[in-house]
Amino acid sequence: MTSGTTGPQRKSFSDRVRYAAKSLKRGHMGPQFEACFAEADSQHVAAVLMRRAENNPDLKAAIKAAFQVSRWSDVPWNAIMKRFRGMDSRAIGADAQKVLVDADRLMGAGLLTGA
């Protein structure tokens, strides 16, 4: 279903974050999980998952397992966290919305193609 964001099939940012977190904790990372990262705001989704994992040991362990690393510092998503320094999850989500609007605008103008 739609979520109020642009596009007929687009899930909301928070829906995608929630689904990705559940999938990670269950160890089920198939096409629906991958779809959580298929939008222009994919780094934002990863950043919120990292923020949530700071206070959720199960999610933190699941992220480490998904990347097959034993140390949290070795999770590749740490590299994108620099971009979001000083932002809480709500601010990251608000920025994600701006990124999606900009991407839709560029696609509508033919300046950006889908991946």
Q: Assess contact for 74 and 115: CB atoms under 8 A.
A: no
Task: Give me the pLDDT at residue 80, please.
Answer: 93
b/e per residue, 41-55, with b = 16+ CB within 10 A? bbbbbbbbbbbbbee
Q: What is the mean pLDDT of the chain?
A: 87
99 phi/psi in degrees, rounded to 5 = -60, -45
Average pLDDT estimate for 85-95? 95
pLDDT digit string, tens, across residues 11-23: 899 999 999 999 9
Does the pLDDT at position 25 exceed 80? yes
pLDDT digit string, tens, across residues 36-60: 999 999 999 999 999 999 999 999 9
Does the pLDDT at position 3 exceed 60? no
Distance CA 56, CA 63 (A): 11
Decide which of 106 and 111 is more confident. Answer: 106
